[in-house]
Amino acid sequence: MIVLKATQDKVLAVLQSVAGIVERRHTLPILANVLIKKTGNALQLTTSDLEIQIRTTAELGGDAGDFTTTIGARKLIDILKTMPGDQTVSLETQQAKMILKGGKSRFTLQTLPAEDFPLVQESAAFGPAFSVPQKVLKDLLGQVSFSMAVQDIRYYLNGILFVAEGNTLSLVATDGHRLAWASSTLDVEVPIKQEVILPRKTVLELQRLLSDASGDNQPVIEMQFASNQAKFTFGGMEFVTKLVEGKFPDYNRVIPRNHTNSVTLGRAPLLASLQRTAIMTSDKFKGVRLSVEPGTLRVASNNAEQEEAMDELDIDYGGDTIEIGFNVTYLIDVLTNMSQDMVKIDLQDGNSSALVSIPENESFKYVVMPMRI
């Protein structure tokens, strides 16, 4: 049976849309495979890592009929990538194997039984669904995801807090040293307040898959939440993920409200200055000193080899003189992930956290703790 017959670019695009969560080495070998289910002319592809499951349906030619199997996802993608985009490729069954053909090339691939593929057990108690434009969610994820913790023992920090209430969607991420908060007003009312923690891997996969197309007919993503699961439906795909259990820190207490000193300056010049001075920091100690005084911002760094860097920016500032140290990576991260021309920094003194935001815009806040230098 010919399971599929289409151009390489079509087949590759469908496979890549589901294969992001597949790990080459897994304790269960079958999880390195993609589950292929043919029903009539429709082909359904499913991947899983036991915590996330992605499924998509496409029509990719071939014979009509019913058939299921599993085949190595990464190997299939690696082979397809070596073929021209406009070349017709086919996947055919042959006993317990699959034959991939393209031009004069032929590959015989091993399969594993479809009935052994561990599908994620979907919750029976998903709440009401609501939809938002994919671009809105992708933009919010991009504004906060760099602040997620990586393999922190406090597992609830290895992800993003997702809060939907009324007509507002807010995302928060923190690793304990910095915190990013971004919010957007929706065109729809969320039926009931939703507050969940999406795992890091889910966040990265959503960022990869979501469209950032804008305009009148921009694609949407439909969301549903249960106590331990989230379900996203978009672009012909169904994405089910486990949620992170635990209590996320009270981010409202972390965001400073009454800092008395504020400086507004160009994002690009500040980023360039920090990147220059970061060269003279050591790999282990990424500290830079910021000295803010009326009219001037100085950025300085040094390292164990007694090397130093000093950079100066002219600023429109008339507040207190403040000297404060930061991990330069945390400042570079936020400025790199912002697109605005101007950035606002609120400071209190050398020992209090700083607040980075967008002038005249309340939709984004970034808090960074100082470090002793």
Rounded CA separation 57/38 (Å): 10
Q: Indicate the pLDDT class of residue 332, thresholds 50, 70 and 90.
A: very high
Alpha helices in the chain (DSSP H): 8-19, 73-81, 134-144, 200-209, 251-254, 267-278, 328-336
The tokens of 215 are what?
């305009």
pTM score, two decimals?
0.91
Q: Indicate the pLDDT class of residue 2, thresholds 50, 70 and 90.
A: very high
Which CA distances in Å does 246 have to 179, 183, 199, 227, 300? 18, 22, 12, 12, 40
pLDDT value, residue 343: 97
| pLDDT tens-place string over residues 22-61 | 987 778 999 999 999 999 999 999 999 999 999 999 999 9
| pLDDT tens-place string over residues 197-254 | 999 999 999 999 999 888 778 899 999 999 999 999 999 999 999 999 999 999 999 9
Q: How many other CB atoms are found less than 10 A from the CB of residue 144?
A: 24
- pLDDT at 373 exceeding the cut of 80: no
- pLDDT at 281 exceeding the cut of 90: yes
| pLDDT tens-place string over residues 80-97 | 999 998 999 999 999 889
pLDDT value, residue 6: 94
Rounded CA separation 145/141 (Å): 5
φ, ψ at 47 (rounded to 5°): -125, 160
Question: Taking residues 326-340, what's their average pLDDT?
Answer: 96
Are the C-beta atoms of residues 281 and 364 closer than 8 Å to each other? no
Rounded CA separation 10/194 (Å): 37
| pLDDT, mean over the chain | 94
pLDDT value, residue 195: 94
Are the C-beta atoms of residues 311 and 299 closer than 8 Å to each other? yes
Q: Indicate the pLDDT class of residue 111, thresholds 50, 70 and 90.
A: very high
pLDDT value, residue 152: 87
Q: Which residues neighbour 81 within 8 Å (Cβ) at sequence distance 6 or greater?
A: 12
Rounded CA separation 101/62 (Å): 13
Are the C-beta atoms of residues 174 and 200 closer than 8 Å to each other? no
The candidate with the shortest Cα–Cα distance to 344, out of 240, 244, 270, is: 270
Q: Which residues of 331-362 are buried (b: 16+ CB within 10 A; e: fewer)?
A: bbbbbebbeeeebbbbbbebeebbbbbbeeee
* Percent with pLDDT over 70 in the chain: 100
Q: Which residues neighbour 368 within 8 Å (Cβ) at sequence distance 6 or greater?
A: 177, 178, 326, 327, 330, 331, 334, 353, 354, 356
Q: How many other CB atoms are found less than 10 A from the CB of residue 248?
A: 20
pLDDT value, residue 25: 77
- pLDDT at 126 exceeding the cut of 80: yes
The candidate with the shortest Cα–Cα distance to 310, out of 258, 273, 264, is: 273
